[in-house]
Amino acid sequence: MRCTHSKLLFFAVFGLSATACATHASDDSWVKLGDKQFKVEIADDDAERARGLMFRDALAADHGMLFVHEYEEPQAYWMKNTHIPLDILYFDSNRKLVAQQRNVPPCSAGDMCPSYPSDVPAKYVLELNAGNADAMNLKNGAMLTIAPDALPKK
């Protein structure tokens, strides 16, 4: 489950069902970071961001999930019901990497799972299989390219 601290209470109070939402992806949904391209699912509303990669047992090596927030603000993600270790990469509104949480382990402790904050404002969050950030030797300041048609028109 992924969400900002301010959203945690909302989902707890209103009992968002884990099966009530799904992210969307198309052949046009990709991001490029460094010299690597990843096919991504897009999570751009509260329900999709809350579900995130929960209950998945695997994520293809060249895949990820891109979370798009309404506002650039400090973000905090957690690994509740997430079965695979991840790299959580935070990008500002200019799509510049501003914070990283690498090799974040799965968590089965329910609401006791720790959060992994950005500590700085971010608008986009990219989750990839753990180890990608290390393999790519990612440094803050790296730029994220998002496919022109990946984000829905609002």
- Whole-structure pTM value: 0.84
Grade residue 1 by pLDDT with cuts at 50, 70 and 90: very low
**Residue 151 resides in a domain:** no
**Residue 10 resides in a domain:** yes
Sheet with 115-129: strands ordered across: 97-104, 86-91, 115-129, 63-78, 36-43, 30-33, 144-146
Does position 7 have pLDDT exceeding 70, yes or no? no
- Separation of first and last alpha carbons in the chain: 24
Instruction: Note the pLDDT tens digit of each residue in 98-132.
Output: 999 999 999 989 899 999 999 999 999 999 999 99
Number of domains composing the chain: 1
Domain holding 23, by residue range, is 5-146
Positive or negative, the CA dihedral 44, 101, 93, 14 is positive
Instruction: Note the pLDDT tens digit of each residue in 40-53.
Output: 999 999 999 999 99
CATH number of the domain that 137 lies in?
Answer: 2.60.120.1140
**Residue 126 resides in a domain:** yes
Q: Measured in whole angstroms, how far is the alpha carbon of residue 131 from the centre of its chain?
A: 15
4 compared with 50, residue with greater pLDDT: 50
